[in-house]
Amino acid sequence: MASLLFRRRLSPAATISRKIFLNGGGNSYVLLWNMKAEASFGICNCLRQFSHSAAARKVDFTDLTHPHTWYPIARKKCRNVFLHVGPTNSGKTYYALKQLESSSSGVYCGPLRLLAWEVAKRLNKSNVPCDLITGQEREEVEDARHKSVTVEMADVSSDCDCAIIDEIQMIGCRSRGFSFTRALLGLAANELHLCGDAAAVPLVQEILKVTGDTVKVQYYERLSPLVPLKVPLGSFSNIRTGDCVVTFSRTEIYKMKKKIEAGGRHRCSVVYGSLPPETRTRQATMFNDASSNSDVLVASDAIGMGLNLNISRIIFSTLKKFDGVELRDLTVPEIKQIAGRAGRYKSKFPVGEVTCLDADDLPLLHSSLDSPSPVLERAGLFPSFDLLYMYSRLHPTHGLHEILEHFLDNAKLSEHYFIANCDELLKVAAVIDTLPLSLHDKYLFCISPVDMDDDISSQGLTQFATNYSKNGLVQLREIFTPGTLKVPKSHTALKELESIHKVLDLYVWLSYRLDESFRDRELASSQKAICSMLIEEFLETVGWQKPRTKSLTQNSRLISLISREMRQQF
């Protein structure tokens, strides 16, 4: 399928010459800075005027020891910061959202697009006009003074009455923590509400000592019981309605789905990270809907945050996970975050249960649930483009890859911060450094949501960057062949379709930043929708022997109509 859709493969010259291990996963850098707001980082425009002079060499652009000074608009305020901390299903985010609803203006910053969607929908339903802004969506509502955004899209260049940062403990994430640090230090809100795990409290208090903000901490208890079971599941014949089986690879997810459905009593929805967000949402909706055929969920740790699920019992098939570098035990926070999804307050399963498939995993499960999460010691940090630009003027012969490496090797940090993992950026920089692009354009491609470990995704980015460097215009029809999307017939074909969705998603992301060059946003969005529906049709049939439902037939007709409409555009 991929060979039909992507007409040109990578040339040998475009491959990466040295192996860089990825610690974390792709799509980490769906970020960051609107170039109109660069002043918020404290790098004055006057620096550009002497960037070639000896004066520039006296400025240490690698000094990152005072990141709070990068945000002068926020520093003009004495913010009231409220930490709402507690376990999953404790009502902490609910309370913060109530404050946001009653504010005159505000922003919700979430870790996932799904959460941003959910909050925007909630506020608009409550008659609080709210825009939705993520890396790939812009949905503006008339007279809106509120925004729901992914944390990377947080606006640090304007005032608001109230702001929320959800899952604040992610400030310690190796790959995305810097985005939460930026929001924490840069949001210019009268009230700033931080929701998450209590493990983040000491670090946040320490970081905000130098900002002049007042900090108050509110602790919450879980609203519904979570019961760790003393016996394992044992056999899949013991699966019951409302169960969620958690495993950590797409291959295992489909194996579990097939085994459960082979018993003939249950049908499974699936949720995992590489599924399109729209598909994940619809799979979760089917599981939550008592009138649907789907009554069991098989999922990865993608359910840990961002989805409201009516789960009765969490069943860990394993407590080990490959994190991109090694196979390791799940951490205490990971186990608690996933287990806490069982027993949602006011759902039909108000009491949650958690167990494992095998008895050998029960001791780790029980000890983790009884342990507090380790206190966070450092927050993520990453240099702004302006800092990298000024640093590059001191090394005019270096490409972006070498500039990044040199900058990170020489960066100076305070004890409360670490430099974010930028392996993915370095992989992209190594590929596009040979192209005749400006430093800013190279940087933009580097921070785009591309998974360089995915062949199709990396090919898509390389083709986009190459065409952009040659023509300044990237037409989707030059890279993507419409009319060839089909329902996958194998897991290999499914993986390819998921990768194609990533490439289309990347095109949309670039279209919001280089709109004059990436003009086919509507077409890319439509093709993304087709990908999602075709994937769902595969999910409806895999591992299930009953005839297709009427709704599936209607879905197929819709796909056919959309495909025909797309073909007519070419």
Tell me the per-residue pLDDT of 508-564, one tens digit each, with 9 for 90 and over. Answer: 999 999 999 999 999 999 999 999 999 999 988 775 444 344 444 444 433 333 333
The share of the chain scoring above pLDDT 90, in percent, equals 72
Alpha-carbon gap, residue 40 to 309, rounded angstroms: 39
DSSP state of 437: -
* Residue-level pLDDT at 350: 86
* Residue-level pLDDT at 563: 38
DSSP helix/strand/coil, 190: strand
Enclosing H/E stretch for 466: helix 455-471
Count of beta carbons in the 10 Å neighbourhood of residue 34? 12
**pLDDT confidence bin for 499, thresholds 50/70/90:** very high
Residues ≥6 apart with Cβ < 8 Å to 97: 108, 119, 122, 164
Summarize the confidence of residues 174-189 as an average pLDDT.
97
Summarize the confidence of residues 143-150 as an average pLDDT.
97
Q: What does the mean pLDDT of the chain come to?
A: 86
Which CATH number fits the domain 454-541, given the four candidates 1.10.10.10, 3.50.50.60, 3.20.20.100, 1.20.58.1080? Answer: 1.20.58.1080
pLDDT tens, position by position, 76-123: 999 999 999 999 999 999 999 999 999 999 999 999 998 999 999 999
* Residue-level pLDDT at 361: 97
pLDDT tens, position by position, 19-73: 222 223 333 222 333 333 333 334 444 444 444 445 555 778 899 999 999 999 9
Summarize the confidence of residues 472-490 as an average pLDDT.
87
Task: Extract the tokens encoding 131.
Answer: 């825009």
Summarize the confidence of residues 474-488 as an average pLDDT.
86
* Residue-level pLDDT at 93: 95
Q: Domain ranges in the chain?
A: 67-219, 226-370, 454-541
Q: Are 99 and 140 in contact (CB under 8 A)?
A: no
Backbone dihedral region for residue 27 (phi beyond 0: left; psi -120 to 50: alpha; all else: beta):
left
Summarize the confidence of residues 201-211 as an average pLDDT.
97
Which CATH number fits the domain 67-219, given the four candidates 3.10.100.10, 3.50.50.60, 3.40.50.720, 3.40.50.300? Answer: 3.40.50.300
CATH numeric code, 226-370 = 3.40.50.300
Which pTM was predicted?
0.85
10 has pLDDT over 70: no
* Residue-level pLDDT at 314: 97
Alpha-carbon gap, residue 92 to 269, rounded angstroms: 28
* Residue-level pLDDT at 56: 52
The share of the chain scoring above pLDDT 70, in percent, equals 85
341 has pLDDT over 70: yes
DSSP state of 413: -
Residues ≥6 apart with Cβ < 8 Å to 9: 459
Tokens 């709109």 belong to: 515
pLDDT tens, position by position, 374-395: 999 999 999 889 889 999 999 8
Is 454-541 in the same CATH topology as 67-219? no
* Residue-level pLDDT at 543: 55
Q: Are 449 and 29 in contact (CB under 8 A)?
A: yes
More confident residue, 431 or 28: 431
